[in-house]
Amino acid sequence: MFRIDLGNAYDALSSSITPEFSVAEFVAPQKQGDPVLMRVRIEPYGDPLLPGVYNLSMGPLDENGGINDEVRLRHHDSARVYSTAILFALAFLTEYPDASIGLDGSNDIRANLYHSMFLLNRKVLSEYFYAVGVDWYVKLLRDQQDVERDRDGNPFFKPRPEEFDYTRTRTDLYRYYILQLKSN
């Protein structure tokens, strides 16, 4: 696992920070082969019901100019790559301090990555950010025999954010991770 060091982030080739769409690009050397052009993107969460919530994604560019966040890369220095993304998140939140930046932990690999990052880098991250974890919960009905369900009969999950609980290990992952700018 990697240690975040914001002072050791890669230099951005260029970047743009706006409320609608923010992006930074940098070059990340690989263990084998050519360096890869990486993009970090922060943009409003796709749900109009959630103003002020932004999504961060990172990866190499795909053939359509979007981010390929599925590809597995072998970075020469993963710590620098993630430090670069977090530095950009800090730059964004410094401009828009009321915003929240989300990291989607909907698959186990990513959730593990974010959870480990928060646990291992508690000290450095807590210098600049408040960390939030989001669980899904389902309501137990009053008859205590069943849970609330949607029209299709699936459990009706709702999000429940809480201050990141550092006693929770990677066997108890959150579903979503959020960074907020720490007030000084």
Partner 1 sequence: MNSRVQHKLDELRRKTTMGKTADSPITANKAAKPDGLSMAIHSQKDAEQFLAELSAIRKRRTAQ
Q: Which residues bind partner 1 (CB under 8 A)?
A: 6-9, 11-18, 20-21, 23-25, 39, 41, 43, 45-47, 49-53, 55, 57, 61-62, 64-67, 87-88, 90-91, 94-95, 100, 102, 104-106, 127-128, 130, 132, 134, 136, 150, 156-163, 175-176, 178, 180, 182-183
HEC letters along 62-91 = CCCCCECCCCCCCECCHHHHHHHHHHHHHH
CB of 76 to partner 1, least distance (A): 19
CB of 28 to partner 1, least distance (A): 15
CB of 156 to partner 1, least distance (A): 7
Phi, psi of 176 (to 5 degrees): -155, 145
Contact criterion met (CB below 8 Å) for 177 and 102 = yes
Between 31 and 170, whose beta carbon lies closer to partner 1?
170
The answer for residues whose C-beta is within 8 angstroms of residue 39's C-beta and 6 or more apart is 23, 24, 25, 58, 59, 60, 61, 67
Between 35 and 74, whose beta carbon lies closer to partner 1?
35
Between 116 and 180, whose beta carbon lies closer to partner 1?
180
The answer for residues whose C-beta is within 8 angstroms of residue 49's C-beta and 6 or more apart is none
Q: Which helix (H) or strand (E) holds 180?
A: strand 176-181
CB of 88 to partner 1, least distance (A): 7
